[in-house]
Amino acid sequence: MTKTRRRAYAQQRPQDLGGGVWSVPVPIPGNPLGYTLVYAVDSPRGPVLVDAGWNHPDAWQALETGLAALGLDVSAVSGVVVTHFHPDHAGLAGRVRETSGAWIAMHEADAALVRLIHGLAEGEHRSFQADMLRRAGAGEGDVEAASAGRPHVPALPDRELRDGDLVDLPGRKLRAVHTPGHTPGHICLHLEDADRLFTGDHVLPDITPHIGIYPYDRDDVDPLGDFLDSLDRVAELGPLDALPAHEWIFPDVAARAAEIRHHHEEKLTRLAALLTRPLTIWETASMMTWNRPWDELAPVLRGMAAGEAAAHLRTLEARGQIDRVPGVHPVRFKAIDS
C-alpha cells in the first residue's frame, strides 16, 4: 500500500467527502497525534457525528467552526456515536449533547468502563495505578511519576450498542462492528449504503493503535488476541474505503488490516525469543523496540509501553508459548521450553 505523508494539524481542513459525509479535523493540544478526524453523516433529523474530539476550548472551537464551514451547525447535531471511550474521541461528546440535545452512543463494554471511571475517586485511581506499576516491576521513581493525575472522564452515554446494531440514522445504514482490542468496546462503523468503514483507532493507515492490558498482570483477558481477531473480521468486509480517526482516509481496509496483523505476529516472535530467562513486565518492556530508546521515554509513556508489553506477553501465554514463574513477586514470565 502506498503511504501518504502525515500532515500537521495546521495543514488540515474540513472536507466534504461526498455522499452526505464530511470530516472535521479537531486538534489534540500537546499530543503528537495532532488531531482527531471527526466525521458527520447526514440525517433528516440533523447530522450524526462519529466521535467528537478532545475536551479543550481550542478543540471545541475547531469543531464548531469546522462544521460551520461545511454548512452544518453543531446545535443541529442529533447524535454522537463514540468509537471508543478515550478522551480524544469521547471528550467533547458531552458538550455537543449540552448544545444540541444530541444522544451519545457507545458499545456496552466501553459504557461499563465509563461508569467505573465516574465511580472512582482521585485517590482510588492513583492507588490503583501505583499498585499496578509495582506489580509489573517498576521502580519507585516511575511509580510516583506515572501514577500522578487522572484521565479525563468522558460523558456517560444515553444509548449502548452491541455488535450488529444499526445506529439511529434514518435513511442510511450505519452498522456497529465490535472490534475489541484497543479498548474492550471499540467499534468500527460500516456505512453499508456507501461501502465505507469508519475505523476509529482500530485500523490506521500508518501507525498501529496502542494495545495494552490493565492491570498489567491480568490473566483473564487477552486484548491483543481480541485485536488480531478483530483485524481478521474487518478484513472479511473486503476492500472498503477506510475513514480513520487519525492520519488520513485510505482505500482497502482489508489490506491494511493484514499488514497490522503481520506487524504484531513479528513482534510476538521477537518477544518470545527474549524470554530465555524469567523477566518482569517492566524488564520485558525495557528490552522491546519503541519509537525512541527506553531511557528517553517519559514515565507515562513507559507505563503505556509496559501495558503493551503485558498484552503481548498475555497473548504468548494464551498460545502456550510462555508461562508465569510461580511464587515470585513481581510476576515474571519465561518461555516454556527454556
pLDDT per position as a tens digit, 103-134: 999 999 999 999 988 887 666 667 777 787 88
DSSP helix/strand/coil, 336: coil
Q: What is the pLDDT of residue 2?
A: 43
Cβ-Cβ contacts under 8 Å for 8 (sequence gap 6 or more): 34
Sheet holding 21-27, edge to edge: 15-16, 21-27, 35-41, 48-50, 79-81, 103-107, 159-161
DSSP helix/strand/coil, 87: helix
Q: What confidence category does residue 13 fall into, taking pLDDT thresholds of 50, 70 and 90?
A: very high
Count helices and strands in the chain by DSSP H and E runs: 10, 14
**Least-confidence region, from 131-140, 175-184, 196-205, 208-217:** 131-140
Q: What is the pLDDT of residue 1?
A: 40
Average of pLDDT values for 65-86? Answer: 98
Q: What is the pLDDT of residue 146?
A: 66
Average of pLDDT values for 37-57? Answer: 97
Query: What pTM was estimated for this model as a whole?
Result: 0.93
Question: Higher pLDDT residue, 140 or 36?
Answer: 36
| Residue 142 clears pLDDT 90, i.e. is over it | no
For the stretch 219-273, pLDDT in tens is 999 999 999 999 999 999 999 999 999 999 999 999 999 999 999 999 999 999 9
Q: How far apart are CA 223 and CA 319, in angstroms?
A: 13
Neighbours of 7 (CB within 10 A): 14
Burial of 64 (0-12, 13-18, 19+ CB in 10 A): buried
| Residue 331 clears pLDDT 50, i.e. is over it | yes
What's the whole-number average pLDDT of the chain? 92
Question: Higher pLDDT residue, 22 or 29?
Answer: 22
Q: How many residues does the chain have?
A: 338
Average of pLDDT values for 206-219? Answer: 93
Average of pLDDT values for 163-182? Answer: 97
| Residue 149 clears pLDDT 60, i.e. is over it | no
Q: What is the pLDDT of residue 6?
A: 63
Q: Which CATH number fits domain 9-267: 3.60.15.10, 3.30.420.300, 3.20.20.70, 3.40.640.10?
A: 3.60.15.10
